[in-house]
Structure 1
Amino acid sequence: MSVEPLSPAAVVGRLRAAGCVFAEDEAELILATACGQAEVLAMVERRAAGLPLEHVLGWAQFGPLRIAVDPGVFVPRRRTEFLVEQALAAAATERPTVVVDLCCGSGALGAALASALPGAELHAADIDPAAVRCARRNLAPFGGRVYEGDLFAPLPRALRGRVDILTANVPYVPSDEVGLLPPEAREHEPLVALDGGSDGLDVMRRVALAARDWLAPGGTLFVEASERQVPGALAAMGAGGLTAHLVTSRELYAHVVTGTRD
């Protein structure tokens, strides 16, 4: 049975009625991604039901890359592109870079770094099996290896003391604030990728305390935090024996805390 075509205006109208603030932009992406009217209708209905746009499309734009994002996998945020920019600015240019991305989710950070660092040795890890499957697809073109497990635990021991760039987009929402997140995040993204404990810094502290053993001399850990968490994040870097620094972007309202091994 044929499906009655939906005009672009009708798609916009349905999305706007569902409360999508950027209905015109979303309609354009859906129409460009869908293969046929049946898929357009299905995608519009899924978005109207509250699924994140990236889960509906099956991908997210992250820097110059289109990153596959499977249902139930954490959606990479555009503000995290600022973290990638800081990592690239610190990367050595005279030799291949060893990159490790913890709490990798879809693998967006690792893919963005590897695409800009020819010859980089890329490793990533996540505790969520769905994220690991998704990241393996995204990192395969760059020769990246993805491991399933808790933080550093699944990484090869041979990486100890060799990592130049260590990114960790850890969960940093305080536990009692997870319920305040937009429904598309709290209902469709894994809790393990959102909940950072009582003050949001539990996982970050664990990463900072263990990072020095994995970093090469001069290697740096990059994490994201909210503005009010910055003092605690800086303290966590110091407690791990790292030299801490803060970089911010007013435009993206992004706060990146770094810790460098001397």
Structure 2
Amino acid sequence: MQEFPPLDLSAVVTTLRAAGCVFAEDEAGLLLSTADGPAELAAMVERRAAGLPLEHVLGWAEFCGLRIAVDPGVFVPRRRTEFLVGQAAALAPERAVVVDLCCGSGALGAALTASLPGAELHAADVEPAAVRCARRNVGDRGTVYEGDLFEPLPRSLRGRVDVLLANVPYVPTGDVALLPPEARIHEPRVALDGGGDGLDVMRRVAAEAASWLAPGGSLLVEASERQAARAQEALRGSGLIPRVVVSEEWYATVVIGTRPR
């Protein structure tokens, strides 16, 4: 293991750059600010140079101004998904009932409810590691359940949900092998693989969403631009009124389905 003198930024940058890290300077600064001494810094740099996602090395990811704990093996929240959270905040009524499905680290629910005083949050994920992580991030803002999609949620939520966040996997099965190694190797496949056309899980969510949403409540999912039309069809077929919002700045596509009032 290489050792680094205290605050030796240039040596860390050189090592990260040699390992192919595109943003070596920025990453070096984060590692230096997080490491508790040269020995820990050396270990962190070694893990990052070996290909571990930066967020797993640091133990956290920045999302919507929050520091979200991200354990190894847990899906790393993408910065583009902040656009989805912003759309959800614009739709949420006062004292909103929020559900975060496929919650992963719990980043979306935690970020949304941080901006919504009095919100009631329920989150769920099928991965035990994600659930443990989400419980740390959600804290006393809400409750996190372990289980598949709606299955673990309290039945009392039916017809009451104002905002349903579902950051479902939407990478087509055939494209998973094309993902960067950081995602393909170090993140759970269940958080990435969306089936043949990438929309299998989204369709499962859409099929039940109307029965959980309050009148006027909305489901928000992320998709690729080429999937947007098919995603809208699925939402429309489930009794929701669909629309698509796109951010060129974030390179993000969000499909929204609203239950008629």
Please give the TM-score of this superposition, normalised by the length of structure 2.
0.97
- SS of equivalent residue, structure 2 residue 211: coil
The answer for the alignment partner of 2:128 in structure 1 is 129
- SS of equivalent residue, structure 2 residue 162: strand
The answer for the alignment partner of 1:204 in structure 2 is 202
- SS of equivalent residue, structure 2 residue 30: helix
The answer for the alignment partner of 1:5 in structure 2 is 5
The answer for the alignment partner of 1:139 in structure 2 is 138
Residues 1:51 and 2:45 aligned together: no
Residues 1:176 and 2:174 aligned together: yes
- Structure 2 segments unaligned to the other structure (5+ residues): none
The whole-number CA distance in structure 2 between the counterparts of 1:51 and 1:108 is 20
The answer for the alignment partner of 2:218 in structure 1 is 220
Letter in 1 for 2:191: A
Instruction: Give 1:38-77 correspondences, 5 Å limit.
Output: 38-77=39-78
The answer for the alignment partner of 1:90 in structure 2 is 91
The whole-number CA distance in structure 2 between the counterparts of 1:37 and 1:213 is 54
Offset at residue 5 of structure 1 (A): 1.3
Offset at residue 260 of structure 1 (A): 0.3
Letter in 2 for 1:27: A
Offset at residue 135 of structure 1 (A): 0.1
Q: Cα deviation per residue 1:17-75 (whole Å; 9 max; x = unaligned)? A: 00000000000000001111111000000000000000000000001101000000000
The answer for the alignment partner of 2:23 in structure 1 is 22
Please give the TM-score of this superposition, normalised by the length of structure 1.
0.97
What is the root-mean-square deviation of aligned Cα atoms in Å? 0.8
The answer for the alignment partner of 1:158 in structure 2 is 156
The answer for the alignment partner of 1:194 in structure 2 is 192
- Structure 1 segments unaligned to the other structure (5+ residues): none
Contact residue 232 and residue 255 of structure 2 kept, 8 A: yes
| Percent identity (aligned) | 72
Offset at residue 141 of structure 1 (A): 3.9
The answer for the alignment partner of 1:102 in structure 2 is 101
Letter in 2 for 1:251: E
Segments ≥4 residues shifted beyond 3 Å:
none
Q: Cα deviation per residue 1:164-206 (whole Å; 9 max; x = unaligned)? A: 0000000000001000000000000000000000000000001
The whole-number CA distance in structure 2 between the counterparts of 1:154 and 1:239 is 25
The whole-number CA distance in structure 1 between the counterparts of 2:137 and 2:101 is 15
Offset at residue 253 of structure 1 (A): 1.0
Contact residue 4 and residue 42 of structure 2 kept, 8 A: no
The answer for the alignment partner of 1:248 in structure 2 is 246
